[in-house]
Chains A and B, each alone.
Chain A
Amino acid sequence: MKPKLNASNAVAALMCAALILLPVYSAATGNIFILTLFTRIVIFALAAASLNLIMGYGGMMSFGHAAYLGIGGYAVGILAAEGIGSGFIQWPVALVVSALFALLIGSLSLRTRGVYFIMITLAFAQMAYYVASALSRYGGDDGLTVYKRSDFAGLINLSDRNQFYYLCLACLFGGLYLIWRIVNSRFGLVVQGVRSNEQRMQAIGFHANRYRLVCFVIAGTICGLAGALLANNTDFVSPAVMYWTRSGDLMVMVILGGMGSLFGPVIGAIVYLLLEELLSQFTEYSGLILGPVLLLIVLFARGGIMGLLGRMRRG
């Protein structure tokens, strides 16, 4: 499929260019805050993109996706606390543990559909939250400070604002590229086919759940990477990143930006976190405004912002 020149692709291209040039702007204007803010946004965009893989393409409404943010983060934090500072160990561990967790909860929750699936994924994420709260050795409720960012043997310095930002951005673009390949591959078509009509897919010879499970694990692993980035970004990890409202935030980003669109979650994360940031300067109750915005999007713009842009050209 060749990329077509339309509003949504143009916006996606502009967005990527802006994200790449952001550190230049930040350096030129001396505005460090915007770089810090966007580092966070890029990390959440990666998490949202991974959720989009199962939610948008796979039709699996996981309400526990933030669990992987915590698992990836704790993998980095706990290893750092135990004196293992190398990113070459921390990050693979973060990915593997996230994948195993996804395998465990996926193989149980994928036996169910619809509301039950949402509830089971939520329950597992909450369990992870309470387990983390009970880890008194690693800060328990108060969380765990990461005193030293992951060390990549001098290849890249994560404490350098610009380098870290570009690392996060590279992870985001890499993740999106991976998702794009997956979505158009044999595997991706099967997963989307199962979303569309599971009975039909079984009847033509696909063991639907096996494909869904693998997709679920891939998404969890990518989100685990976002978790490792997040812990390095905040130099801190706490059970709060796994709380169900965080999973809700990720869902909102995906729906806001456009489910089943590659760049939807990125624009969703940008809009959501920017709005949150802006509104928090005026009011404590940013939800009062964010809520109705989401409501309008869901009611009048199925397919989110990307869906709106896609319609503009035809409209």
Chain B
Amino acid sequence: MATFKDFRNNIKPNWCPGCGDFSVQAAIQRAAANVGLEPHELVVVSGIGCSGRISGYINSYGFHGVHGRALPIAQGVKMANRDLTVIAAGGDGDGFAIGMGHTIHAIRRNIDITYIVMDNQIYGLTKGQTSPRSEVGFKTKSTPQGSVEPALSIMEMALTAGATFVAQSFSSDLKELTQLIEEGMKHKGFSLINVFSPCVTYNKVNTYDWFKDNLTSLSSIEGYDPSDREMAMQTLMKHKGLVTGLIYQNKERKSYQDLVPGYSEKPLTEADLTISKEKFDQLVAEFM
């Protein structure tokens, strides 16, 4: 059986020292080993940005695509080979700005993949511009007077879009993060895990200390029930979205693959590419 070390490769990440993404990388490696995967059974698809490089830093199959499109690529991989475990990963700009259309629709489509967002509330790779997760008043190179646009309430949005698995974590908490990724991978459907992953270079507001002071763990809330969507929504609103843990899970709804009629139970990659003469003649006759 593979251990987390088998999911490490020889590439040195080009992230800044102290970047939250290192923990996310480690958590994915641990979670993959914990759920019993071999490296070749995992595909990590990532977007563009600092965090997008993550698919190259894990010893597994990796696809580093175009900005904002990790999700449709990942869904295509999963539809082609349902035996593969597919993780999509990227930053908040990738998933909630340029790729927001795909995020909403991947959530409602509910194909069985895990989406991990490294949310640092800023554009890092382009050297410090505002993101859809930046708060009002946040000063960046593109908002020198402070942002006037409110931050997206991403967890609430996921709930209203029909998400079946919504979780949030903090990169400092490797244990919880690993566990949530494991649960997301086991979940039969689309799982969204938003990870507060501080940018130590460009975000001087949402720092490690800031998160430690402002985050509330759902485990500390007595009677919190992640199967209760209404409670999830109320809790998120009460805490301005700054909670960690499994926010909501719907175990009843089937994944897209299990609902779509006629879709092969074995991987489509194993499908016969030829059509029998008899079947061909039948198809042709329909046009006569």
Indicate whether A and B interact: no
